[in-house]
Amino acid sequence: MIFVAAGTQDGRELAGYLLEKGYDVVASVVSQYGQALLQSYPGIKINDKPLDEAGLREYLDNNEVECFVDASHPYAANISSNAMAACAKCGVPYIRFERETSPLDYAKAHYVTDYKSAAQKAGELGENIFLTTGSRSLAIFAQSEALKQKRIVCRILPEPEVIKEARELGFTPDNIIAMQGPFSQELNKELFIKYGADVVVTKNSGTLGGADTKFAAVKELNLPLVVIDRPKVAYTNVTDSYEGVLEFIEKYKML
């Protein structure tokens, strides 16, 4: 059985790709939305329980997992670290599928290493802050001293629990955009204009994550851009293609 950490679109597609190649696949997701999307792949098994390193070791030992494919979000460094540690202890081959970043050549791009630094830099650059960093980091921006007197607009998934969290953190309805991306360059531009963005905060999640169209819209409007760099993780094995994952699996002759 192949275990795929599949909390992203490309993770789900990769799980489906391996199914088509004849492998038994269990895909791991923690959101109900992710589960619903995976159910379109006939024959796939789904793990919906969050697993830390100990939980992963137990799962790998008890379910005859022959290979671990880490297609978690590019910014989910803890998942990758836990997976590599668990695989090393259980003797399970590990490979990371890492989507490519979107190229950016822009004089007004400011690069930071974490969310707190992003909040600080955004506060220095403008009064109206437009967040495109997802829901997991909302608390950092909402509680940042650098943004106390700023307007913060967040673009998040239209899931009830995510919107509830944003409201509890103090985001008012006129500062919440609940939409499913990725977004076109034109829609990004119109949203930045509508909400009066002085500065946009984002991550480089690659073309599949819509980073390219965000970058293009920001450049067209000549806005400052704060880019949170991807975490630096020393993956034991890594590829940027589905074919590379398949070659790695086939090297261990598990078909």
- Are 85 and 113 in a shared domain? no
Reduced to 3 states (helix: H, G, I; strand: E, B; else coil), residue 85 is helix
Q: Which strand ranges, in their side-by-side order, compose the sheet holding 2-5?
A: 45-47, 25-28, 2-5, 67-70, 94-97, 238-239
- Are 15 and 85 in a shared domain? yes
- Are 125 and 217 in a shared domain? yes
- Are 119 and 219 in a shared domain? yes
Q: Which strand ranges, in their side-by-side order, compose the sheet holding 109-112?
A: 109-112, 225-228, 199-203, 128-131, 151-156, 176-178
Q: Are 245 and 96 in contact (CB under 8 A)?
A: no
CA dist., res. 108 & res. 53, Å (int) = 40
Q: Are 226 and 202 in contact (CB under 8 A)?
A: yes
- Are 153 and 69 in a shared domain? no
Work out how many domains the chain is built from and give that number: 2
- Are 92 and 132 in a shared domain? no
Reduced to 3 states (helix: H, G, I; strand: E, B; else coil), residue 140 is helix
Taking each continuous run of H as one helix and of E as one strand, the counts in the chain are 10, 12
CATH of the domain at 237: 3.40.50.720
- Are 114 and 214 in a shared domain? yes
Q: Using a cut of 0.85, tell me whether the model's pTM lies above it.
A: no
- Are 190 and 147 in a shared domain? yes
Q: What is the pLDDT along the chain (255 residues), one digit of tens a residue?
A: 999 999 788 889 999 999 999 999 999 987 777 777 788 888 899 988 888 999 999 999 999 999 999 998 888 888 999 999 999 999 999 999 988 777 888 999 999 999 999 999 999 999 999 999 988 899 999 999 999 999 999 999 998 999 999 999 999 999 999 998 889 999 999 999 999 999 999 988 777 678 899 999 999 999 999 999 888 889 999 999 999 999 999 987 654
- Are 34 and 122 in a shared domain? no
- Are 201 and 238 in a shared domain? no
CA distances from 196 to 71, 130, 152, 166 (A): 35, 9, 11, 20
pLDDT at 255: 46
Reduced to 3 states (helix: H, G, I; strand: E, B; else coil), residue 194 is helix
pLDDT at 57: 95
CA dist., res. 189 & res. 175, Å (int) = 17
Neighbours of 62 (CB within 10 A): 8
Whose structure tokens read 């297609």?
71
CATH of the domain at 148: 3.40.50.620
CA distances from 99 to 17, 95, 241 (A): 16, 13, 8
- Are 57 and 143 in a shared domain? no
- Are 113 and 222 in a shared domain? yes
CA dist., res. 186 & res. 54, Å (int) = 45
Residue 183 is part of which domain span? 109-228
Torsion of CA 229, 233, 237, 238, to 10 degrees: -10
Exposure string over 37-54, b if 16+ CB within 10 A, otherwise e: ebeebeebbbbeeebeee
Q: Are 192 and 130 in contact (CB under 8 A)?
A: yes
